[in-house]
Structure 1
Amino acid sequence: MMSISSDVLNEPQDRDAIIRMDDVSVTYDSGDSYVLDDVSLAIERNEIIGIVGESGSGKSMLASSLLDAVPDPGQLSGSVEYRPVQDQNVEVLALEDSELRALRWEEISMVFQGAMSSFNPTMKIKEHFIETLEAHNAPVETGLNRAHELLEDLYLKPGRVLGSYPHELSGGMQQRALIALSLVLEPDVLVMDEPTAALDLLMQQSILLLLRELREKYDLTMVFITHDLPLVASLADRLAVMYAFELVELGPASEVINTPTHPYTRALLNATPNLNAPLSEMRPVKGKSPAPINVPSGCSYHPRCPLDTEECRTNHPPADPVTPEHTAACFHWEEARTEISLNYAETGTNDGDWR
């Protein structure tokens, strides 16, 4: 485990969380433009949490914030606590550069969008593993043995993959090799930003099955970021729905799918193909999501919402509890259940068949 300065260790408040974000914001233009707005989220140890929303909703910025990797000139504020063990906290935003470099691979690793652009095309896959191991002063032979095991776990032939250049592998093989590379230093948390976006449906489903197996074998916590709600719904334990750079609904995946409460979540589900509704009943989300420089006052969704009132236009809704584990930031979430119908059967239970 990496060495962390004592001045960034604090007593934990929530013993079940491995990462806790409190009031995290990312701003540009001297604070005038928000691309992440006051997000608080506790990520539980060994869970898979899905972060979903339209393109431009702030999902990727949330991922970057977890690793203090917001590109300049973005300004990151708030608190991101990492809990390597249950009796200590690491304040990520207070780490020195060397500590932060270690954390990003050894403790929290990230799979970025597009495996094809993540590998150096002039280097064989084995060289990427060696370079990563040497950069973190890890034993190369031991690391390569782990790489072989990880590649086999992902149903790849280690000899062929490690001896290949990236362009000699298919997109699915590259993506799985990138997942293996992200796990070679045995991190506790794996953050994946649209990891299956460029893959066909069959390969997407295959990778989801492999991720479940990896979570169980290596006791991983996973943050899976995607705009594809059906994809992550079949994988995640919990879903966090983002709109206009903030969280608007959070809860167990089965509850968010089968009893969605925020008007945006219901609209998003109605715009998504599913096996229980004909294509003619799909309804696109009306209007456009706001730009960072033009976020509406009050509830950011009110210009697109059929339930908006003067209260919505002037006041920002708090995250109300729907159930003990399910929250929605909406003044009218109870009305949404009756006023905004779904194009599939709402079960009101945790055993619906939308997925």
Structure 2
Amino acid sequence: MSTHETSQTASTEVPDVADPILEIRDAEVYFDMDRGVSRVLDNVSVDIERGEVLGIVGESGSGKSMLASALLDAVVDPGILSGQITYHPGDGSSVDVLGLEKEQLRQLRWEDISMVFQGAMSSFNPTMKVGGHFEETLEAHDYDVDAGMERARELLSDLYLEPERVLDSFPHELSGGMQQRALIALSVVLEPNVLVMDEPTAALDLLMQRSILSLLEDLKEKYDLTLIFITHDLPLIAELADRLAVMYAFELIEIGTSDEILGDAAHPYTRSLLNATPNLDAPLSEMQAIEGSAPDPVNVPSGCSYHPRCPLADEECVSEDPEFRPTFTENHQAACFHWQDSAEVIPFNIERSDTSEVDDE
């Protein structure tokens, strides 16, 4: 979908979820630059199910992190955020996130919707011990510090850390994996309902990445969390996620269950992304880089934004903006005119036997 056709996307149908905790409608972020308007989030609409793990994936610069910032109304100036983001705490009420006053928004962040940013080292004050970060957070939100620190110790233990050692350490005294786990504990200490994770394992080795994913799964179940996990590594998050949402050129272009996306991806970009991802089951010689490059946010192509890189593109793709439509199932949707032909034109380079069969009917 193209930034030139934003009026066509406002009526995009969103896959049904039974109990949405977040509803995002036509979320858009742009920066007014000297060389033109830079649109870095383009009319994204999606519902997030209470208690699910939603993986948001795409290449670097696709708009994933901007979507994360939008969920907390945390887009930095001079960025302009528009659209509608509604949070449902679960008590029957609804919160218009973009309509909150400054103090209300401060309370929403951390207490209801919390976020783990990229790079734990840059998230901690290097002159303050880790325990001080927990105490400061609890005090800032008027929580009982003693009770909160007990919860912090429990969370650190849940993440296989030694609570007293970690709390009494400066951030630089901990390994990268320990810092990341401590940051996750800090993000959950105020008992939020939603945890947004922006590339939280990007700087860690593969074993630590998988370890943290396993720990997150345990935390999710114990503390009844909804997780939104943002990453460029589609196969990695697929092991944890219930659904996957794929972004390209600042838009959502495909969404479905993890099994549907890994086993029968419909959008040409998603299939190419999977073929370009290193996999232990396939030699490097079979990895296929996606030709071309992602578009400049100031100059996104008309029609389908992926058409300059897509082997299925035709005149319709160049001139028309594809809307989301059901593919193999009602809730597996893709923005592509020719999704039925994508498997034949872009076959997977390995058999993905770890995914279940997707019913094509």
CA shift in 2, pair 1:239/1:15, >3 Å? closer
Aligned to 1:136: 141
Asked if the contact 1:259/1:347 (under 8 Å) is kept, the reply is no
**Secondary structure of the structure 1 residue equivalent to 2:270:** helix
Distance apart, 1:186 and its partner CA: 0.2
Distance apart, 1:294 and its partner CA: 1.1
How many aligned residue pairs are there? 340
Aligned to 2:28: 25
Q: Distance in 2 between matches of 1:318 and 1:348?
A: 30
Q: Distance in 2 between matches of 1:128 and 1:346?
A: 43
Query: Which of 81, 85, 101 matches 2:90?
Result: 85
Aligned to 1:8: none
* Aligned partner letter, 2:219: L
Q: Distance in 2 between matches of 1:35 and 1:275?
A: 33
* Aligned partner letter, 1:236: A
Aligned to 1:7: none
Asked if the contact 1:57/1:244 (under 8 Å) is kept, the reply is yes
Aligned to 1:16: 19
**Secondary structure of the structure 2 residue equivalent to 1:37:** strand
* Aligned partner letter, 1:16: D
Q: Does 1:186 align with 2:202?
A: no
Distance apart, 1:87 and its partner CA: 2.0
More off after superposition, 83-92 vs 263-272? 83-92
Q: Distance in 2 between matches of 1:267 and 1:235?
A: 21
CA shift in 2, pair 1:263/1:348, >3 Å? farther
Distance apart, 1:201 and its partner CA: 0.8
Q: Does 1:345 align with 2:351?
A: yes
* Aligned partner letter, 1:112: F
**Secondary structure of the structure 1 residue equivalent to 2:153:** helix
CA shift in 2, pair 1:141/1:350, >3 Å? same
Q: Distance in 2 between matches of 1:75 and 1:129?
A: 32
Instruction: Give the TM-score normalised by structure 2.
Output: 0.92
Aligned to 2:299: 294
**Secondary structure of the structure 2 residue equivalent to 1:265:** helix
Q: Distance in 2 between matches of 1:178 and 1:108?
A: 15
After the TM superposition, list the runs of 4 or more consecutive aligned residues in structure 1 that deviate by more than 3 angstroms.
346-349
Aligned to 2:321: 316
Q: Does 1:112 align with 2:117?
A: yes
* Aligned partner letter, 1:338: E
Q: Does 1:210 align with 2:215?
A: yes
**Secondary structure of the structure 1 residue equivalent to 2:298:** helix
Query: Which of 161, 175, 182 matches 1:177?
Result: 182
- Kindly provide the CA deviation profile for residues 96-119 of structure 1, in whole angstroms up to 9, marking residues without a partner as x: 000000001100000000001100
- Kindly provide the CA deviation profile for residues 318-343 of structure 1, in whole angstroms up to 9, marking residues without a partner as x: 11101122001000000112111110
Asked if the contact 1:24/1:39 (under 8 Å) is kept, the reply is yes
Q: Distance in 1 between matches of 2:231 and 2:83?
A: 24
Q: Distance in 2 between matches of 1:125 and 1:56?
A: 31
More off after superposition, 220-229 vs 267-276? 267-276
Asked if the contact 2:18/2:49 (under 8 Å) is kept, the reply is no
Q: Distance in 1 between matches of 2:39 and 2:353?
A: 37
**Secondary structure of the structure 2 residue equivalent to 1:38:** strand
Unaligned runs of 5+ in 1: 1-12
Aligned to 1:335: 341
Aligned to 2:44: 39
CA shift in 2, pair 1:86/1:299, >3 Å? farther
* Aligned partner letter, 2:189: V
* Aligned partner letter, 1:343: N
Asked if the contact 1:113/1:194 (under 8 Å) is kept, the reply is yes
- Kindly provide the CA deviation profile for residues 114-133 of structure 1, in whole angstroms up to 9, marking residues without a partner as x: 00110000000010001000
Unaligned runs of 5+ in 2: 1-15
Distance apart, 1:349 and its partner CA: 6.7
Instruction: Give the TM-score normalised by structure 1.
Output: 0.93
Asked if the contact 2:266/2:339 (under 8 Å) is kept, the reply is yes
Q: What is the RMSD computed on CA atoms of the aligned residues?
A: 1.6
Distance apart, 1:226 and its partner CA: 0.5
CA shift in 2, pair 1:306/1:348, >3 Å? farther
- Kindly provide the CA deviation profile for residues 246-281 of structure 1, in whole angstroms up to 9, marking residues without a partner as x: 000000011000001100001001101223322211
Q: Distance in 1 between matches of 2:58 and 2:254?
A: 11
